[in-house]
Amino acid sequence: MSCEHLICAHCTNPVVEGRCPVCRAARAEIHHHGPALTPQLLVAAALLLLLGLLIATHVLP
């Protein structure tokens, strides 16, 4: 869903501009995203993968 064509009932401006608190709240709700992949999370995942590979190579003959 997009807020490009929505008009705020409170201030009668486009929601995408976020001119009033109602617009900003509606825009934030529409464009709510899940947790972002932070660089720290990516590094931790890579290290866990590397650790898993190292363990797998030493366990299997």
- Mind listing the pLDDT tens digit for each residue in 7-57? 888 899 888 888 899 988 888 887 776 666 788 989 999 999 999 999 888
Two tokens at 59? 């366990």
26, 31, 32, 35: CA torsion to nearest 10? -160
Distance, CA of 58 to CA of 14 (rounded, Å): 60
Task: Check residues 1 and 2 and name the one with the higher pLDDT.
Answer: 2
Residue with tokens 């825009």: 27
Distance CA 21, CA 7 (A): 14
pLDDT at residue 49 in the model: 96
Q: What is the pLDDT of residue 58?
A: 85
What are the residue boundaries of the structural domains of the chain, listed by start? Answer: 15-59
Whether 6 contacts 17, CB under 8 Å: no
